[in-house]
């Protein structure tokens, strides 16, 4: 019985030491080798493309004089009513 409790003590002690060592490497060891989370000043290719397109779009100007044109104001909306058709069976795969 004494031998079994000593073995349990040793296994427990080794497990605790292993957890402490792994915790040390996880918390302390990786913080010095990893890069901090910062915004990079180097832009990727998609970022540059988006900025280029954005600068080109900001130069666009729309001529809104057409909205005050008499011919444009005379245009009418032609609506075609949608006729509702009967819906098929609730379960098309059900036996007839």
User: pLDDT 10s per residue in the chain (96 long)?
Assistant: 567 888 888 999 999 999 998 888 888 765 455 566 666 566 678 888 888 888 888 888 888 888 898 998 899 988 888 888 888 888 889 888
What are the sequence ranges of the domains in the chain? 1-34
Q: Do 43 and 51 meet the contact criterion of CB atoms below 8 Å apart?
A: yes
pLDDT at 38: 64
pLDDT at 29: 64
pLDDT at 36: 60
Please tell me the distance from the alpha carbon of residue 72 to that of residue 64, in angstroms, as a whole number: 11
pLDDT at 24: 85
Q: Do 72 and 66 meet the contact criterion of CB atoms below 8 Å apart?
A: yes
Cβ-based neighbour number of residue 29 at 10 Å = 13
Cβ-based neighbour number of residue 10 at 10 Å = 10
> What does the block give as tokens for 82?
């949608």
pLDDT at 41: 61
pLDDT at 19: 92
């Amino acid at each position: 019985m004494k031998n079994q409790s000593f073995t349990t003590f040793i296994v427990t002690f080794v497990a605790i030491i292993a957890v402490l060592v792994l915790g040390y490497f996880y918390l302390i060891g990786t913080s010095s080798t990893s890069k901090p989370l910062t915004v990079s000043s180097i832009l990727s290719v998609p970022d540059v493309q988006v900025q280029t397109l954005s600068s080109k779009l900001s130069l666009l100007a729309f001529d809104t004089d057409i909205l005050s044109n008499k011919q444009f104001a005379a245009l009418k909306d032609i609506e075609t009513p949608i006729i509702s058709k009967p819906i098929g069976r609730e379960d098309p795969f059900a036996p007839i």
